[in-house]
Structures are given as C-alpha cells and as structure tokens.
Amino acid sequence: MENNTISDLIDEMAVTEYEEICRDITAGKFAPVYVLMGEEPYFIDYIENLLVQNVLNETERDFNQMIFYGSDSNVLDIMNMARRFPMMAKRQLVIIKEAQDLSKLDLLSHYVKAPVSSTVLAICHKYKKIDGRKNILIEAKKNGIVYESKKIYDNKMAGFIISFMKEQSMDIDGKGAQMLADYLGNDIGRLAKETEKLKIVLGESLSKCITPELIETNIGISKDYNSYELVNAVASKEILRANRIADYFDKNRKVNPIQTVLPIIFSYFVNLMICIYSKDKSERGIMQTLNLQWSFQAKDYLLGLRNYKAMKVFDIIHEIRIADAKSKGFDNSSITFGDIYKELLYKIMH
C-alpha cells in the first residue's frame, strides 16, 4: 500500500509512464517524437531537460540542437528543420517550447506520420492537453511517445512529496511531508526549489532526513503552528491548542492566509463524513476509502471518528461554508479573521 512510485502518483492514465521515459532517455534510447502535454509543467520541463542532457554531447549542440517557441514559429520551418540531417553527429534535437501557442499545430502530423530517424522532436505543450481527436496525437501514439503530465491531487500531495524526496536520496516523515503539502499546495516547481534549498542545507551530512525542525528553520513553516497541526488539534478536540494555532495564523496572515486554511479544514470534514458512512473504519479501510497512500494520513480520521458524529459533521461543514463566505467579505462588515477563526472553532468543538 505504501510502495508507490512517482508514476503511480502522477500519471495513472499516461500512454507511456514517466519513469520509463526517463530511464530510456538516460540509457540513450530515444523516440523520434515526444509529445509532452498537460496541466503540470514540471514533468514536461524535466523530460525536456533530460533530452537536452542526453541526446547530444556539448560539442554537438551548437549545430544540432534547435529550439523553437510556439508564438514565434511556424509549422513549415519546424518540419523543414526536423527533416534536415544532423551535422557531424548521429542525431539532432528539435524542441518546440510553448507548443500550445503554435499556430496550426496539427499540421505537424504530416511530419510525425513519417519522422526522420536521426531527429528527436520534442513538442512541449503546457497547461492543457491536446485534443485526442487531433491527427498529431493519433500519429504520435503510433510513431513516438505521448505523455500527459497531470496535476497532483491535493490529497495525494503529501504521499508524492515522500516519493519525490526518495528520488532525491532523502527521507521525510509524514508530518514534514504534510507541512510542505499545506504550504506549497500542488505546485511541483516550488517543491523542487525548496528541495534544492534543503539539499544545500544538508550538504555532506550523513543524515539525509528532512525533519519538521529543518523545514521550520529553512523554509519558514512553523512545525507547531501549521494546517497539519490545526487539523490534528480539531480532530482530537484540543480546544486550547486549536485556538493557539488559529491565533498564530491571524498574526501571520501572509504565511497562513485564511483562504487556504479553511479549505483544508473543509476537506478534512468532508472526508470524515465519508469515513463515518464507510463499512470498514480501520486504518486500512480508511486508506482504501479515501485513496490515501500513507498510513499517517489516516491518523486524524481515526481521531475524528471517535470525537464527531454524522449530524455534527454535517453542521460543521455548513459552518465552514459560512466562515469561508465571511472571510471573502459576504455578510461581513467588521468581523476580523481572528474572530472568524474563534467563532468557527467554537462551533466545531462544542
């Protein structure tokens, strides 16, 4: 249940798996065409960078690596370049960045239908998919590789962070992973930047474990005052701790804006309602019901099942909606964010 790879977490419906693509490129096994598309730009950029590092050596790049930008290029020029033979090298690399801005993109299907074996063409189409009915996608599936880079769902982000850190030869515990997930959301690019910062901090240390204390010191997320701890306090009905955390949030609004905290609490209680009506309320049952990757994610739901009944959870969900509306200025002329927190926490835990 907990031996997930990054591919399991990012791309269950991919035509070709992410890790397989990366392994082949690193091993020097190149497809003539790569169509890299989807909402998450990080994995598209990563594969593109792997191609740059591996298709050509440094001395070959000057004459055999061509980069086009969608908004400044036309399909005919790209196809002519792709059909050219490499100079003093086995192959050439042609990259189309921002292919979503390329006019008449589907005309590239004429090249993709019969690609030149000595050319590696990478079409980087970010932030959305290409229509599956387009000829370019149909031909690319026959003659090359199609990879759809999907956003990580919020409830899978902590599990993804654990797997991501392992890929970087580092470890992180459940609390640390959830702290980063709450702070970064599902922005993989920011995660990669913060990971590089933590790598530098660890340096040559024998321990490669990223602890909550390390995150607090170097990223600026409090190990005791964060959304992960607030949900835990609410789940266990620790009224004083929950209010201390909420007070900290109110005094540090830039780091913990109420508009990001309330959805996390809302998501917890929606999932708790699902658990209440689930037949199997064991840790394993909750993990299966909520599609969780790691056992630590089930802990707060087990606490919640002991402390909250179905009708109470139903009322809490309604109160969170009201608090969210107030935080956005609806039916609220003078109430502060601190007051919204206090009123909501009182209604949740009493």
Q: Which of 130, 148, 166 delimits the end of a domain? A: 148
- The answer to whether residues 171 and 142 belong to one domain is no
- The answer to whether residues 101 and 180 belong to one domain is no
Tokens 């601190």 locate to 338
Q: Is residue 183 part of a domain?
A: yes
State the total domains in the chain: 3
- The answer to whether residues 116 and 162 belong to one domain is no
- Mean pLDDT to the nearest integer, 80-107: 96
Rounded Cα distance, 100 and 243, in Å: 47
- The answer to whether residues 56 and 112 belong to one domain is yes
Q: Is residue 333 part of a domain?
A: yes
Q: Sort 19 into a burial class: Cβ within 10 Å, 0-12 / 13-18 / 19+.
A: middle
Contact 179, 218 (CB under 8 A): no
- The answer to whether residues 144 and 189 belong to one domain is no
Q: At what angle do helices 188-202 and 41-54 cross, to 10 degrees?
A: 60
Rounded Cα distance, 71 and 133, in Å: 23
Could you tell me the two tokens for 283?
Answer: 């840790």
Question: Domain limits at 163?
Answer: 154-219
Q: Is residue 257 part of a domain?
A: yes
Q: Is residue 184 part of a domain?
A: yes
- Mean pLDDT to the nearest integer, 248-269: 91
Q: What is the CATH number of the domain that holds 244?
A: 1.20.272.10
- The answer to whether residues 124 and 22 belong to one domain is yes
Phi, psi values for residue 37, rounded to 5°: -140, 160
Could you tell me the two tokens for 259?
Answer: 């508009």
- The answer to whether residues 210 and 255 belong to one domain is no
Could you tell me the two tokens for 281?
Answer: 């309320």
**269 pLDDT above the threshold of 90:** yes
Q: What is the CATH number of the domain that holds 197?
A: 1.10.8.60
The answer to which of 31-45, 153-167, 224-238 has the lowest mean pLDDT is: 153-167
At 12, is the pLDDT very low, low, confident or very high (cuts 50, 70, 90)?
A: very low
- Mean pLDDT to the nearest integer, 214-233: 89
- The answer to whether residues 315 and 281 belong to one domain is yes
Q: Is residue 131 part of a domain?
A: yes
Contact 107, 132 (CB under 8 A): no
- The answer to whether residues 25 and 119 belong to one domain is yes
DSSP structure string for 30-84: --SEEEEEES-HHHHHHHHHHHHHHSS-TTTHHHHEEEEEGGG--HHHHHHHHHS
Rounded Cα distance, 142 and 15, in Å: 11
Please list, in sequence order, all residues whose beta carbon lies within 8 angstroms of the beta carbon of residue 246, skipping any fewer than 6 positions away: 230, 338, 341, 342, 345
From the list 348, 128, 149, 97, the residue with the least C-alpha distance to 246 is 348
Report the pLDDT value the prediction gives residue 13, as an integer from 0 to 100: 40
The 10s digit of each residue's pLDDT in 275-290 is 999 999 999 999 999 9
- The answer to whether residues 95 and 143 belong to one domain is yes
- Mean pLDDT to the nearest integer, 299-314: 96
Q: Which of 219, 252, 275 delimits the end of a domain? A: 219
Q: What is the CATH number of the domain that holds 100?
A: 3.40.50.300
- The answer to whether residues 15 and 135 belong to one domain is yes
Tokens 């790569």 locate to 34
Tokens 């199997």 locate to 280
| Mean pLDDT, all residues of the chain | 90
- The answer to whether residues 142 and 37 belong to one domain is yes
The Cβ-side half-sphere exposure at 148, using a 13 Å CA radius, reads 16
From the list 31, 78, 86, the residue with the least C-alpha distance to 62 is 86
At 14, is the pLDDT very low, low, confident or very high (cuts 50, 70, 90)?
A: very low
Q: Is residue 345 part of a domain?
A: yes
Report the pLDDT value the prediction gives residue 116, as an integer from 0 to 100: 96
Name the DSSP class of 166. H
Q: Is residue 1 part of a domain?
A: no
At 1, is the pLDDT very low, low, confident or very high (cuts 50, 70, 90)?
A: very low
Q: Is residue 185 part of a domain?
A: yes
Beta strand 33-38 pairing with 65-69: unpaired
- Mean pLDDT to the nearest integer, 223-237: 93
Report the pLDDT value the prediction gives residue 168, as an integer from 0 to 100: 84
- What residues form DSSP beta bridges with 35? 123, 146
